[in-house]
Structure 1
């Protein structure tokens, strides 16, 4: 705690509209005489709160809900004294939105007890933080686990990383044509490939759609003219080659980025921030612990806050927008993505656990380029061994039909898959060279021969955008003389080059096939991918950057945390039972105890009534007016000393009945009994005194 935070707390108490300062001073320091000096009261309260016995009593009054709020305020920023805005604090502290109003009332209560206070942060938002005089004691008592409702020791579930599912979707959509039968529903052939490579993925429509969104956010998929997704395998391979071991983090970050609400930040900001946010969230997940789904939100929020706050303070606009406009919605999106990607799993007991899949994103197999990670069989089967890196897996998923993932992946490079690869711009020599590099062996002769022959067959008919087709000799004759091709040629452009009577390339492809000429036209990206590049670049950067704030440590708690009454409350209520007080006094004292405004048993013993004079002197004109108006409202007696027209000092007592402005100035009319009133010019009053009994 620095002097800035302490000064911020003092300033906040001075301007506090709820008068927590005056309330605390009256409870713990005794009667507050007026006029009073707020700075002096703050100094006295600060000394009082710093006493070990006071701090111990404050801690003893904290129940489970109090501790959760204090823990979230302590551990959701880069510094324990940063705190959170009250609405976000209330949303995170509750399991259901219906209870947010209760949490806000609990925050108000903690501020009244001077445990928390409100201040305006550097970016203009009001935040709630722990009072600096209690900060050291709270850090010693309140642990990160206090922010959770449950933290039980458990076995960590084993789960594969999501990269295999990304590859399965890409491979299925490359090697099935058409890939989609609806806007986002895979075709029958694509479903067959998916079911073999990633069993259960096609039937889990919500998860499939989320992973597809992630691939779109990463630029690996685009939208066709009919609105259906189209794959860009070349871009996928190039991006994975460039990003290396960070490719899994990049694609996974696309899942949370694409699902985040668009109103808080631009897509470019999302892609730039998402990898770092995901890494922070994954690093923050406690391993070997089971926690509630609501706790997953809290863990995600604490990790995101600790990651984003330094960026926002440094002027990063995306981080500022996310923190100030869409933080809770983004927390929900990232927490949901963690489940979708398999980084956390919901158990049969209703509790969430971090899985071993986290390691696949944070600590994947490095791009060593070592040979022997792939085995190419004469049967055209390609086996991908566990030591293969991510770029190798991405490449084979693009050029061959993925048939199995798991410990050892399997893919088939047959004629259909090779022709699809050629249609997307891969060449036989490129495929052969890369397979030999990662296998460490020459390709089987039959595989190399087939690759060349299939490429020659594909290149013999080349469809060009603009509905122009170039054909080799034999096929040129088919097009010119076959009855099936009648009406297909609009104009012969050159030897073997024809302008077709087709509206677009897809129609031209169908017309040529009906004439017996097999061509394969696949879409390519219309953009250069620069808008998607930040996602890949930041993923690579995120894994090499040092962690800003170290992850929080969460210890297991034997039983589910419940909101039991604070122990000191029970003790104080027991003491109250033995006191002889009136029913009204008992009800008032019990309400104060349950509000946790009583720190010690001595506060339950009412002191004898004390008298206090409120005084305004001759030079305090506004003070005289306020005192008289308040006494008039309360019907209270005041004593006045004033100078009459002869300069004689007159003393009078009475109840103010009217304060009004006349031509000569403001006057007060006092009634001292009966119907008679005395009118005195306020400017002539030397002193006005009101006695109050406490």
Structure 2
């Protein structure tokens, strides 16, 4: 039988109430229905509680007592899929102390607004809004409470991208010429830093860019420092510009596996496209990334393996991301600011507001079709090459194989010299390739002496050659067979002489297998040479430019004003004052009003009170010790304030040890379980936190 989804949610809520520990179950029943008389029937009590919540006046009062903090937490529970305690801890880690978060969650549970149940898919305890109240609460809860837009920040003009294709290519070209650019710790050498300062005007973001290139595998360690992997760069250049920037910013946060790097870059790209024109604060941007990751089913952390977590760190070639609390996204935001993908468009409430650079959204995959005239490259008789803005990374990259950087500003200056040409010849570039690449983007004919000089350099270059690899030597009568055999001929890299061939076999096993198959099985074992490497490149990203989360144009109105909320509470306090109760009963019922558990005067019953001391401080040594003892037995959370800490500590008591003049207790702090020892006498305040559905 198929049940209506809301009916199923109501059944789930009723089951969650029925399975509460007896102490908690009867506390809730006394708070809402009064003293529970024996014999009792749990299901009948739950039905009475349901009737209480179905009354329109009670529902209106419950909603009227919701404040901004309640609504934000309810928005998180509503919009984060399968929201567990762990996810809420991660989501609010930057904005709310964990003890305050737990206290608010428990308060919403006591007020019957939220409940926990076991998720059918994961088996984890998750939170949900009470289905009997969800329709009344829904109009006041939206994504805009989790992703607030700044209140009209002072707008600043958007700067150009700090990392243009020309700057990126110039830096790559410099690394090719100076492979020993870095010290052993990854910092720039003094001489190289000075040269780069002169070339770029600043080296502030170059170490971060260097780390990103290394983490993407575009730079690799070589015998004399660092070498450029042209094959990987060519593959990287095929990505659209937005994907290139996303990968660079993601890689600036650390070294990840190929799949994880793609997931991080895609998350960043989705977040960037979801930023409104007015921008977001950094905290809101991190919340946005959390929601996007959860929406895509990415789990609590941005993908990391166990090894990546063991190597947690940032800012070096071997750096990895931080934990699953948004630390990696935080680092990626730093990369976006460093490379100009994001910029600070203003401030609001003392926070920087970050907006997406228009230049990022407008970056084109290729500019060749609409560059117009004049074209962006000019070459003078001294082989000085000036490159104006307009070429994409994919168009500039081939030029870097034979150009040497001189200065990089709005227009970049390069030189073509014998050393840079020799470097290009090593990479398989011919004189025709050099002339053709320059002429393609130049409005004027190249200087004739440039073409002549490049050809002369190539003649010198080809006058001698040094090879390394597999060499196949055969007799004259077998040479024709080798050249005509389709199995062997495709592996001939170069014909050194009529009877000697340089082969491109990957390894000895392949060489011997092919030689055997082609009938030359009389040849013995071979010795090693270079291998052919498979170029994987970076996985493509989705660059649609669409917002993946609908935050709504207008935030919902508050259920009531602060004055109306206080008026409701004042009416309840006046009703309490008119009653004849013992001091203990009056105090506990007054505390229930303050916690907004009481929604009508019928709940103010003296016989429903079961007094329990939950807080003690100062000189009340016995009271503090009693609270810790009680929490230890019930495995409840306690909050401890000390003189030397700005924020209180929260955790579950593990043990108590009595000393001669004091008592010490050990807390397993939340959320990571770190144990810390406290003194009862020195504790400024100790408070036991109620727990309904929380798991400690």
TM-score by length of 2: 0.63
What's 1:280 paired with?
270
> Is 1:239 aligned to residue 242 of structure 2?
no
Report how far residue 150 of structure 1 moved: 7.8
| Pairing partner for 2:109 from 105, 108, 111 | 111
Partner residue in 2 for 1:89: 88
Residues matched between the structures, number = 523
SS at match of 1:118: strand
Q: Residue 65 of structure 1 is aligned with which of 58, 65, 69?
A: 69
The aligned residue for residue 269 of structure 1 is: 259
Aligned partner of 1:431 in structure 2 is: 434
- Does residue 295 (structure 1) correspond to residue 292 (structure 2)? The answer is no
Query: Quick check: 2:367–2:390 contact (8 Å CA) kept in 1?
Result: no
Q: Distance in 2 between matches of 1:161 and 1:588?
A: 61
Secondary structure of the 1:132 match is coil
- Structure 2 distance, partners of 1:332, 1:416, is 44
Structure 1 position 270, deviation (Å): 0.7
Aligned partners of 2:31 and 2:608 also within 8 Å = no
Residue pair 1:384, 1:410 contacting (<8 A) in 2 also: yes
String of CA shifts for 1:639-678, please: whole Å, max 9, x gaps. Answer: xxxxxxxxxxxxxxxxxxxxxxxxxxxxxxxxxxxxxxxx
Structure 1 or 2, whichever has the larger Rg, is 1
| 2:137 paired residue number | 138
Residue 454 of structure 1 and its aligned partner are, at CA, apart by: 3.5
Residue 392 of structure 1 is aligned with which of 375, 381, 395?
395
1-side partners of 2:361 and 2:258: how far apart?
Answer: 23
Specify the alignment match of 2:252 in structure 1: 255
1:586 Cα offset (Å): 2.7
Q: Render the CA deviation track for 1:363-390: whole Å, top value 9, x for unaligned.
A: 5213354255532322544444444333
2:118 counterpart of 1:120? yes
Superposition RMSD on alpha carbons, in Å? 4.6
SS of structure 2 residue aligned to 1:543: coil
Aligned to 1:375: 377
Cα shift at 1:596? 2.0
1:593-612 matches, within 5 Å, as 593-600=593-600, 602-603=601-602, 605-606=604-605
Counterpart pick for 1:75 among 58, 76, 79 = 79
Q: What secondary structure is seen at the aligned counterpart in 1 of 2:297?
A: helix
Q: Show the 5 A alignment for 1:190-339.
A: 190-192=192-194, 194-196=196-198, 198-200=200-202, 202=203, 204=204, 207-225=205-223, 228-241=225-238, 246-256=243-253, 258=254, 267-289=257-279, 291=281, 293-309=282-298, 329=324, 331-339=326-334
Question: Structure 1 residue 591: deviation in Å?
Answer: 1.0
* Cα distance change on mapping 1:545 and 1:95 into 2, 3 Å: closer
Structure 1 residues 52-92: Cα deviation after superposition (integer angstroms, max 9, x where no partner):
54443233323333233222223334xxxx3x221331343
Would the alpha carbon gap of residues 135 and 64 (structure 1) be closer, same or farther in structure 2, given more than 3 Å must change?
Answer: same
Cα drift, residue 232 of structure 1? 2.0
Q: Secondary structure at the match of 2:296?
A: helix
Residues 450 and 390 (structure 1), Cα distance of their counterparts in 2 relative to 1, 3 Å cut:
same
Displacement of 1:240 in angstroms is: 0.4
Q: 1:238 to 1:141 in 2, by over 3 A?
A: same
Quote the offset at 1:173 in angstroms.
Answer: 0.9
Contact 1:436 1:442 in 2 (8 A): yes
CA contact under 8 A between 1:21 and 1:42: conserved in structure 2?
no
Distance 1:104 1:605, change over 3 A: closer
The TM-score normalised by the length of structure 1 is 0.63
Paired position in structure 1 for 2:622: none
Equivalent residues of 1:170, 1:231 under 8 A apart: yes
Q: For 1:172 and 1:6, how far apart are their aligned partners in 2?
A: 66
Q: 1:100: how far off?
A: 1.2
Taking structure 1 as reference, are residues 178 and 318 closer, same or farther at Cα in structure 2, changes over 3 Å only?
Answer: closer
Determine the C-alpha separation between the residues in 2 that align with 1:320 and 1:34.
55
Select between 19-28 and 111-120 the one with higher mean Cα deviation. Answer: 19-28
Matched residue SS, 2:597: coil
| Alignment check: 8 A CA contact 1:119 1:126 kept | yes
Structure with the bigger percentage of helix: 1
Give the 3 Å change call, closer, same or farther, for CA 190–50 of structure 1 in structure 2: farther
Q: How far does the alpha carbon of each residue in 1:380-401 deviate from its partner, in whole angstroms, 9 at most, with x for none?
A: 4444444433312444455434
Q: Classify the secondary structure of the residue corresponding to 1:119.
A: strand
1:172 to 174, 187, 190: 174
Shift of 1:242: 5.6
Q: Is the contact made by 1:399 and 1:413 (CA closer than 8 Å) also made in structure 2?
A: yes
How many Å apart are 1:337 and its aligned residue?
1.1
- CA drift of 1:141 comes to 0.9
C-alpha deviations, 1:442-470, integer Å up to 9, x for none? 544344334333444444454445899xx
Q: CA deviation at 1:39?
A: 4.7
Aligned to 2:533: 528
Determine helix, strand or coil for the equivalent of 2:252.
Answer: helix
- Residue pair 1:162, 1:252 contacting (<8 A) in 2 also: no
- What pairs up with 1:641-660 in 2 under 5 angstroms? none
Q: Distance in 2 between matches of 1:597 and 1:88?
A: 26
**8 A contact 1:166–1:215 mirrored in 2:** no
Q: Can you give the 5+ residue segments of structure 2 that lack an aligned partner in the other structure?
A: 311-320, 472-495, 501-528, 610-696
- 1:17-56 deviation per Cα after TM superposition (whole angstroms, max 9, x unaligned): 4876655544344554555555555555456545554443
In the aligned structure 2, how far is the partner of 1:255 from the partner of 1:220?
13
